[in-house]
Each structure stands twice: as structure tokens, then as C-alpha cells.
């Protein structure tokens, strides 16, 4: 196993804001990707009263070899009170920018799209000034060998009027089959991002990948070009960290200098925002893009 470099050391959770956020989430019985995915930034984000709320439960119908979220069969269960509790959490935490994500729910007829939309609307109905970023699954359907994104499911998300819509490629194309569940694919994810823009050209879309899984830098640049090719404006690139011994091992630790090169290339390609650093995750400091969103609305 490769030894973790100094630049990946993170602070331990403390008191104050971290404990308050923890209490609110426990009181309302809400899940976060921060805990479920063993995110290294939990102390930083919770200390700033931000959290990525994970809806539709904490059991995923897929098994991706990089992810620490529990895999299994939720058997169609959906907590209909969850959207309201999420809205309460947003209010109690005083959030101005909210990231929502979810497990994959292939056991549901629409993949959970309507539940996502209800949650977005609940937050907006409580306070229309809160910016909401759903980080959505692919909502794909069909047999494993010929799955496809379903426009009607994506339209439900768009109609709820989120401020940014995110969907991650996760890794470069050549590694996808080894890293992600067999029901996911690089092309399906690109099609999701493309379809979102076709359904609503004004939608602000976001995507991201991890590095350190064995990819080459030229493959990273190709992924960036592919994302821009389907209209993605916001991109994130961060270092993969092995959550447990049963997950994929880290193949390399990318240096901070190389991350700066990724960012430089991304901005040159035309991305509005590129967060590229070892500890970056899809939702890390997501509120930093709020100014970009507001500027877009004024155009």
C-alpha cells in the first residue's frame, strides 16, 4: 500500500459548529454522504455549517468499487416525510447553498427522480433564496447491456428548478468498467449531462472525476474535453482515497502541482469553475459557485 503524503492530512472533528450540525442531522434522522462515504472533509465542511444531505435512504442498489456506501436491496421503501425533514434541516442549519445527493435506487420505477424533485421543491418553498444543487444518479433504465438515461426522469429534476445539476463521470473512460457498477457507464453519464442541456439549455451543469485509480494524465484531459463537449460548466477533480481494504487500492497520489495543471487546462477549455486539488470532492465548498450562478441569472 502506498503511504499517504503530507498534503492529504486533515484535521479531526472538533466542537462548536461541527457538533451543532451533527445534532441537527441526528435529530431529523437524516443521512449524509459525509459519513456514509467516509469523506475526509467532514470536519472542515461541518465546521462551516455545510453538509451534503443524502436522500432516499443509505442503502444503494449498486456496488461501485470506490464507494463506501452500503450496497443492498431497499425493496422499494421510500420515506415520504424525508423532503420535509430536509427542508427543516436547511432552515435550522441556516444554509444558503444546499447539496443533495442520493444512493442509486434501481428498485424504484423512476429511480427516485420524483422524490429528488419533491425535496428540491420543499427547500425552495420554505426559502426561495436558498440555492440547491442536486447531485443525481443516472436514472438509467433498460437491460444492463443496453441501459439509457430516461429524459422524463431528468425532466422532473429540471422542473423542480434547482440552481446547479450535478452528475459525476467518477473516472476516466478506460477505467469505468473496473471502478463503477456494471449498470453504470461513461457514455451513459455523458448522455445524462447532454440530455439535461437539451431539455433546458440554461441549466448549469456540473461533473467530476477522481484520480489516483491508475489513469494517465492524457486520459484526464480527454475526460475534461468530453465534459465540455456536452456543455458542463463546473468541474471537480480530487484524489481517490481507499475507504476500506475491500475497495480499490490507490495507484498513485497525484501532487498538488499536477492538480494545478488540471485546473489550468480546464479553465483554458472554457469551464466556468474548476475545483482541482487533492481533497476536492464533488460537493466540497460547492457554495463557491454561487456568485457564478447569480451572474448567469443576470445575463
Would you list the domain boundaries of the chain?
Answer: 10-298
Which residues, other chains included, contact 187 with Cβ-Cβ below 8 Å and sequence gap of 6+? none
* Best CA proximity match to 173, nearest among 230, 233, 214, 234: 214
Q: pLDDT tens-digit profile of 95-138?
A: 888 889 999 999 999 999 999 999 999 999 999 988 899 999 99
Q: What is the mean pLDDT of residues 249-268?
A: 97
- Angle, to 10 degrees, between the axis of helix 151-159 and the axis of helix 113-126? 10
Give the pLDDT confidence score for residue 4 in this predicted structure. Answer: 76
Architecture of the domain spanning 10-298: Alpha-Beta Barrel (3.20)
pTM of the model: 0.89
Residue 222 has pLDDT above 80, yes or no: yes
Which residues, other chains included, contact 204 with Cβ-Cβ below 8 Å and sequence gap of 6+? 163, 164, 165, 233, 234, 289, 292, 293, 296
Q: pLDDT tens-digit profile of 30-81?
A: 766 555 444 555 555 545 555 678 999 989 999 999 998 889 999 999 999 9
- Is the CB of residue 100 less than 8 Å from the CB of residue 55? yes
Residue 293: C-alpha distances to residues 62, 84, 128, 262 (Å):
32, 25, 15, 23
Mean pLDDT of the chain: 87
Residue 297 has pLDDT above 70, yes or no: no
Name the band, by pLDDT with cuts 50, 70 and 90, for residue 3. Answer: confident
Q: pLDDT tens-digit profile of 140-177?
A: 998 888 899 999 999 999 999 999 999 999 999 999 99
**67-71, 82-86, 101-105, 227-231: least confidently modelled range:** 67-71
Amino acid at each position: 500500500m502506498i503511504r499517504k503524503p503530507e498534503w492529504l492530512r486533515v484535521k479531526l472533528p472538533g466542537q462548536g459548529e461541527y457538533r451543532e450540525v451533527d445534532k441537527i442531522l441526528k435529530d431529523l434522522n437524516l443521512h449524509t454522504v459525509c459519513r456514509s462515504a467516509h469523506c475526509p472533509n467532514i470536519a472542515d465542511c461541518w465546521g462551516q455549517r455545510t453538509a451534503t444531505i443524502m436522500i432516499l435512504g443509505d442503502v444503494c442498489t449498486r456496488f461501485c468499487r470506490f464507494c463506501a456506501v452500503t450496497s443492498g436491496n431497499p425493496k422499494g421503501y421510500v420515506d415520504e416525510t424525508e423532503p420535509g425533514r430536509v427542508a427543516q434541516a436547511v432552515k435550522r442549519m441556516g444554509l444558503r447553498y444546499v447539496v443533495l445527493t442520493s444512493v442509486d435506487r434501481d428498485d424504484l420505477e423512476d429511480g427516485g427522480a420524483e422524490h429528488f424533485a419533491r425535496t428540491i421543491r420543499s427547500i425552495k418553498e420554505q426559502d426561495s433564496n436558498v440555492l440547491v444543487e442536486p447531485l443525481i444518479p443516472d436514472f438509467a433504465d433498460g437491460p444492463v447491456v443496453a441501459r439509457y438515461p430516461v429524459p422524463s426522469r431528468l425532466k422532473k429534476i429540471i422542473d423542480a428548478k434547482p440552481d446547479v445539476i450535478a452528475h459525476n463521470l467518477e473516472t476516466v473512460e478506460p477505467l469505468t468498467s473496473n471502478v463503477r457498477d456494471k449498470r453504470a457507464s461513461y457514455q451513459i453519464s455523458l448522455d445524462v449531462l447532454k440530455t439535461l442541456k437539451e431539455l433546458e439549455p440554461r441549466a448549469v451543469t456540473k461533473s467530476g472525476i477522481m484520480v489516483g485509480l491508475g489513469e494517465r494524465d492524457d486520459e484526464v484531459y480527454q475526460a475534461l474535453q468530453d465534459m465540455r463537449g456536452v456543455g458542463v460548466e463546473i468541474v471537480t477533480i480530487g484524489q481517490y482515497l481507499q475507504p476500506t481494504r475491500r475497495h480499490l487500492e490507490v495507484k498513485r497520489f497525484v501532487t498538488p502541482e499536477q492538480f494545478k495543471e488540471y485546473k489550468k487546462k480546464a479553465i483554458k477549455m472554457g469551464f466556468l469553475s474548476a475545483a482541482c486539488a487533492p481533497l476536492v470532492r464533488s460537493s466540497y465548498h460547492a457554495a463557491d459557485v454561487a456568485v457564478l450562478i447569480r451572474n448567469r441569472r443576470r445575463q
